[in-house]
Amino acid sequence: MQNDVPAQPGFFPGVDVVTISLPAWTKGFTAFIGGFKTDEDRMRLAIALARENVLRGSGGPFGAAVFEEESGKLVSVGVNSVERLGNSAMHAEVMALMFAQAAAGSFTLRAPGLRPHVLVTSCEPCAMCLGAVLWSGVQRIAWGAPRGAAAAVGFDEGPVFPASYQYLEDRGIRIVRGLLAEEAQEVLRLYQERGGSIYNA
């Protein structure tokens, strides 16, 4: 510590608290969708969240949810909130994982006493989200539209390679690819038709 060095004047008041919240509509919305026994049921919720996020103008065309694997209990949801929250990390997957961990009271969904969890997301995860999945403790992930579909409307997905998936699989995370891909891709097209902004172009 260099106590003789003058205080750095530019830093105060630096931002040191940020609040991450879902759009208000998500709460009521999820109440009207019931039954998450199958992967398709779960993916329909992720896609419905993505679509509603577009229709409400609350963010990009991406939705995600975390479930308890066996019971199908809905634990958390996320919708892309990059522009709404002014935070480039607020992809649907990161939000759903954060809220799931907050609900579980642990930084890992593999904490002792917790049941296995799955992340279901309307689009193939970007590089950041794939990394976030690895640290989250989910034991499985299912995604809908492939990265090519996101790229077709202008979204970059970052450095994700076959070896990236292999890395996760080697650590016991199972991957389901392209589930209800057509329905998921339709939301990307809807966003494009409505002239939604591409925040990471």
- Taking CA atoms, 77 is separated from 31, 42, 161, 197, in Å, by 12, 11, 26, 22
Q: Which of 92, 97, 118, 187 binds its own copies (CB under 8 A)?
A: 97
164 lies in the site for its own copies, by CB under 8 A: yes
What is the rounded distance in angstroms from the CA atom of residue 25 to the CA atom of residue 124? Answer: 24
What is the rounded distance in angstroms from the CA atom of residue 60 to the CA atom of residue 91? Answer: 9
Tell me the pairing of strands 117-123 and 74-79: unpaired
Answer positive or negative: Cα dihedral of 96, 99, 101, 103: negative
Q: Which of 40, 103, 151, 182 binds its own copies (CB under 8 A)?
A: 103
172 lies in the site for its own copies, by CB under 8 A: no
Nearer to its own copies, 27 or 194 (CB): 27
Q: Could you tell me how many residues of this chain bind its own copies (CB under 8 A)? A: 78
Q: Which of 113, 161, 172, 195 binds its own copies (CB under 8 A)?
A: 161
5 lies in the site for its own copies, by CB under 8 A: yes
Instruction: Kindly state the smallest distance separating residue 178's Cβ from its own copies, in Å.
Output: 20
Cα dihedral 120→177→63→67 (10° resolution): 0
31 lies in the site for its own copies, by CB under 8 A: yes
Answer positive or negative: Cα dihedral of 83, 87, 89, 92: negative
33 lies in the site for its own copies, by CB under 8 A: yes
Among the listed ranges 10-18, 115-123, 145-153, 175-183, the one in contact with its own copies (CB under 8 A) is 10-18
Site for its own copies in 121-160 (CB under 8 A): 126-132, 134-137, 156, 158-159
